[in-house]
Amino acid sequence: MNPLTKWLTTGAGLLGAAYAAHSANTWLRYGHPRRVREDAKDALLDDFMRVYDVRELQEIALAAPADVTLAAAREIELDDSPIVRAIFRARELILGSKPDAARRPKGLVEAMKAIGWGVLAESPGREIVMGGVTKPWEANPVFRALPPDQFAAFAEPDCVKIAWTLRATPARSGGSIFGTETRATATDAGARRKFRIYWSLLSPGIILVRLAILPRLKEAAERRWRVEGDDIV
């Protein structure tokens, strides 16, 4: 075995082991999400989903004010990232999905609204909460928005409710902390069994998508602030 083949084989083995460990840990933690830090609690999101089966939060510090950061987050393009495109392609292969060739509006929020997500709440310049109902284990899941006043009480069988945020919090430095949080809960025991398997197997890709956009968002928001800041001066 030549050195390159040996290196690739070793790398693939380590990657496989890491994936297996993450999946096993996710399976065990399902229904027992980590406690929320005091500074990461979200009253706006709590209004729609206070109890949940899974919760994920990714954060990054930016040298741009909160309103600039949130504006950049709303407009970021997922398809511009090769990593994100690869993860979406991997999901298609794993679940046997049909490729989605539909044209979407530009910008993350508008693109998500176009595939069925709805806006549950918004704090201008600070946060937007999106939500929807779906069956994520299906090859080509359909997302359905609900009126904000019906989301918390929704309990139709064999579904998963998902709420996620784009949130920018002012920092003492004059910059901001951007966070994207996702919470999900199944509506009955059958959905919980299927969602637990789905989340254990595919959550690494879902988390990687969010982690992949953070550096791009940081670059976009700070570049925007450099331009806007110069205009203000």
Query: pLDDT tens for residues 40-69?
Result: 789 999 999 999 999 999 999 999 999 999
In a domain, 25, yes or no: no
Helix (H) or strand (E) holding 130: strand 127-134
pTM for this prediction: 0.86
pLDDT tens string 95-135: 888 877 778 888 999 999 999 999 999 999 999 999 999 99
pLDDT tens string 171-186: 999 999 999 999 999 9
Q: List helix spans (H) across 125-188.
A: 148-151
Q: Are 207 and 187 in contact (CB under 8 A)?
A: no
Q: What is the CATH number of the domain that holds 135?
A: 3.30.530
Which pLDDT score, from 0 to 100, does residue 94 have? Answer: 82
Sequence letter at residue 186: A
In a domain, 210, yes or no: yes
Q: What is the mean pLDDT of residues 208-232?
A: 86
In a domain, 184, yes or no: yes
Which pLDDT score, from 0 to 100, does residue 82 have? Answer: 84
Q: What is the mean pLDDT of residues 198-214?
A: 89
Residue 10 has pLDDT above 80, yes or no: no
Q: Per-residue confidence at 207, pLDDT binned at 50, 70, 90?
A: confident
The structural domain count of the chain equals 1
In a domain, 16, yes or no: no
In a domain, 202, yes or no: yes
Nearest to 109 by CA among 148, 160, 72: 72
Separation between Cα atoms, residue 203 and residue 45, nearest integer Å = 21
Which pLDDT score, from 0 to 100, does residue 8 have? Answer: 39
HSE (side-chain half, CA atoms, 13 Å) at 71: 12
Give the residue numbers spanning the domain of 45: 31-232
Q: Per-residue confidence at 11, pLDDT binned at 50, 70, 90?
A: very low
In a domain, 133, yes or no: yes
